[in-house]
Amino acid sequence: MDQIDRRILQALQHDGKLQNNELAQRVGLSASPCLRRVKQLEDDGVIEKYVALIDPAKVNLGLTVFARIWLKEQSAYTVNHFVESIKDLPEVVECQLMAGDCDFFLRIVVSDLEAYRQFQIQRLNKITGIQNVKTEIPLQKVKLTTELPIY
């Protein structure tokens, strides 16, 4: 990957709806070579997909909480069961297997605190193998980006 590919990635991360002609102009290529490079980045899996970023508050999902999860044991069965269960919960928008204090770290998006309380009681806590859930409630979003620092 060269500097032109990096400029393509930077531009598309900022605006995934850029038309090829405008993208080519921004990165200093003509349209055909630019299109070939984008196609190659897609084929190589560097560009995974294109998405629309939605303002959560405008679709009644104004509360993001973070939950640290401890499992009763770290057996393959328990970990795999938890992972498969989490995949079925649309409120969980991110799940990370952790090294350190907790076993998993979740980012959960819901409408409000009561919705989270119901989610935790009725869905999250019912996953077999969970020993403990600690919820963190952010007071202010300082930074949230989907753009990777590609130089």
Predicted confidence (pLDDT) per residue in 51-99, tens digit: 999 999 999 999 999 999 999 999 999 999 999 999 999 999 999 999 9
d(CA 118, CA 94): 19
Which two three-digit tokens encode residue 96?
Answer: 């990370």
| CA nearest to 127, candidates 86, 75, 77, 68 | 86
Around Cβ 52, how many Cβ atoms within 10 Å?
Answer: 6
Whole-number pLDDT of residue 46: 98
Whole-number pLDDT of residue 103: 98
| CA nearest to 116, candidates 84, 91, 87, 85 | 91
Please provide the average confidence, as pLDDT, over all residues in the chain: 97
CB 133 within 8 A of CB 103: no
pLDDT (mean) for 124-140:
97
Whole-number pLDDT of residue 144: 94
Which two three-digit tokens encode residue 6?
Answer: 């990096």
Whole-number pLDDT of residue 116: 98
Question: How would residue 27 be classed by pLDDT, with cut points 50, 70 and 90?
Answer: very high
Whole-number pLDDT of residue 68: 98
